[in-house]
Structure 1
Amino acid sequence: MDGAELFLAEVAAILRVDSAHLDPDRDLTSQGLDSLMAAQLRQEAQRSHGVLLPIGKILSRATLSELTDQLNTAKQPGDPRSWQTPRRRVRPRPFLRAGRRTRPRPRSDRTPLQPTRNPTSLLP
């Protein structure tokens, strides 16, 4: 099964229809795709093809054949229009040392709280 057939099978599974009922010349929203299904389709395309399709493109008036063509061209290396899965950037976390979460040290110029008097002890 090539990439186009796999993508068509994924779309059919998400729309819960047979792949023979999908029209490649109609957009997916007119065939019953909503925003939650578009997010699921984006995740499936990323998982199976390694390509991150924009949800706006899936929900726009792009036809199924246009999306399939974009998916195939995005898998070709060197294409400036490709939407490859972005690499995750690791940002340093503030208070992580040696794999342990530590808290900032208290400032020494703060005075400790004094115990308060019990108001009932002031009664005669």
Structure 2
Amino acid sequence: MPPRTCLCGLPAPYQDCCGRLHRGEAAATTAEQLMRSRFSAFGVGDEAYLLRTWHPSARPATIGLDRRVKWVRLEVLETSGGSVVHTEGTVRFRAHYLDRGRSGEMEENSRFVRHEGRWVYAGVA
């Protein structure tokens, strides 16, 4: 069952926020929106969305999400480029999780590019 409030950190219900992107009803208009939706996809276990939004040159065959890890909070620390007029951008973020009850966090500066008109994750910047 999807969460009521979106995991991406924006003050909106999941169904109206990242859920629209996960269901294919909308596409991310910025690199940050894609990054937020990918975080939410990790949180709800939507491996298909994660693979769809990964650049084909670096996309793994599978992800193998660990169900023992619960993604709980996202902080966007910095963005560069990635707007509706850009073709590439970066988003530095901190993701908070629980792994078998133990809290942890990971920080990454992700690179995003437009591929066939849509934002995709291209790896670590």
Shorter-chain TM-score bucket reads under 0.3
More strand, by proportion: 2
Q: Work out which structure has the larger RCO, using CA pairs closer than 8 Å and 6 or more positions apart in sequence.
A: 2
Structure with a larger share of its residues in helix: 1
Q: Computing the radius of gyration over CA atoms, which structure comes out larger, 1 or 2?
A: 1
